[in-house]
Amino acid sequence: MSDAVYTNVREFNKTLEHWAKDVLPQEFEIVIRKLGLEALTSIVRSTPVKTGRARGNWQLTIDFPAEDEIERMDKNGQATINSGLRRLSELKGRGFGGIIFITNNVSYIIELEEGSSQQSPQGMVAVTFEHLNSIFG
């Protein structure tokens, strides 16, 4: 993945860790679930669409990243977002516990992130985390 993505994600995580020191576990859990959904929705909706394969392969998981490509084709992205929303419910009652991963294992996702499509020339992940970081920054 590009340096911009890593930088944006690292900065977002630092900001979130700093912010989390001042909130209760149950408040943190609610915010994290909302942020997870916002991040997934933004990434999915900004993913270029030809067949729906790239959009359909975004996978939100808890504690461990997804390692495989899946067969879901999702041109409008709603099935992918709904799947992530169901997974986010696993965080309920965990307070500060759990790490959210949003991964995509199609072979060309890095090229899309680096702007190979005119539909998303700035990528999807870097732009999303830049936006999320600005909310807390």
Rounded mean pLDDT of 36-61?
A: 97
- pTM comes to 0.83
Three-state SS at 128:
helix
List the single range of 16-30, 35-49, 73-87, 119-133 with lowest mean pLDDT. 16-30
Domain ranges of the chain: 3-129
Q: What are phi and psi of 75, to 5 degrees?
A: -60, -40
At 14 the pLDDT is 72
Mean pLDDT of all residues belonging to the chain: 87
Asked if residue 75 lies in contact with residue 49, where contact means CB atoms within 8 angstroms, the answer is yes
Token pair 């702007």 is found at 115
